[in-house]
Amino acid sequence: MSDQQANERIVVYSDYVCPFCYLGRASLDQYRAGRDAPLEIDWRPFDLRSQQRREDGTIDHSVDTGKDEAYFEEAKQGVRRLQEKYDVEMDLEIATDIDSLPAQVVSYALKERENYETWLAFDEAVFEALWRDGRDIGDADVLADIAADAGVDPETVEEILADDGARSAVREQFRQARQQGVTGVPTFAYDGYAARGAVPPAQLERLVDGV
């Protein structure tokens, strides 16, 4: 195997509170499992709550996002359909009251500081904590528990969340995502091409392998 194959990466824009991001990752995992060569995930954070985000980073739930009960019911139906299609266990279908920003800040910092396997273990555990266990991934103690299970000193979580630089780095990633034309998640990007949504493994195969 060549170094180029070993380091091959797909860019994934996502937000932990997006159920379709969790389902999209399940599809990506199925595709990756069937490849001969490894394919790493180059994760880029995206803020689904940007319209509601105050200057201090907190969420203003009173802001009208234009998403009514009919929208959320349709989303739930889509989640159920893909959950069955990809054989994914989920305790929640929609997470409207949980803020993913703390999780994104910690995850992005770990992505920059730790090795890939450690970051990936944390990343996958955050998704599972929310969507399979119904835990609040906006809670620092929950993130510390997840970090410890991934082999990271839980005190690191507190340090990261208190670091203005870590938060600024994530805000810059949000800005870059918009600049790249990313308007929704999940978005998978590879070699100048992109696929948006929790697309099936075969579509990811076409995106990356051209087949």
Residue % of the chain over a pLDDT of 70? 97
- Provide the Cα torsion 89, 102, 113, 198; round to 10°: 40
For residue 100, the model assigns a pLDDT of 98
Is the pLDDT at 7 greater than 90, yes or no?
Answer: no
Residue 178 and residue 174: Cα distance in Å, rounded? 7
Nearest CA-CA partner of 170 in 113, 104, 121: 104
Domain edges within the chain? 3-209
- Provide the Cα torsion 135, 136, 137, 138; round to 10°: -170
Is the pLDDT at 93 greater than 70, yes or no?
Answer: yes
Is the pLDDT at 3 greater than 50, yes or no?
Answer: no
pLDDT in tens, 97-149: 999 999 999 999 999 999 999 999 999 999 999 999 999 999 999 999 999 99
For residue 5, the model assigns a pLDDT of 42
For residue 2, the model assigns a pLDDT of 36
Whole-model pTM: value is: 0.94
Instruction: Determine contact, residues 17/100, Cβ cutoff 8 Å.
Output: yes
For residue 41, the model assigns a pLDDT of 98
For residue 211, the model assigns a pLDDT of 75
For residue 204, the model assigns a pLDDT of 98
Which architecture, in CATH terms, is 3-209?
Answer: 3-Layer(aba) Sandwich (3.40)
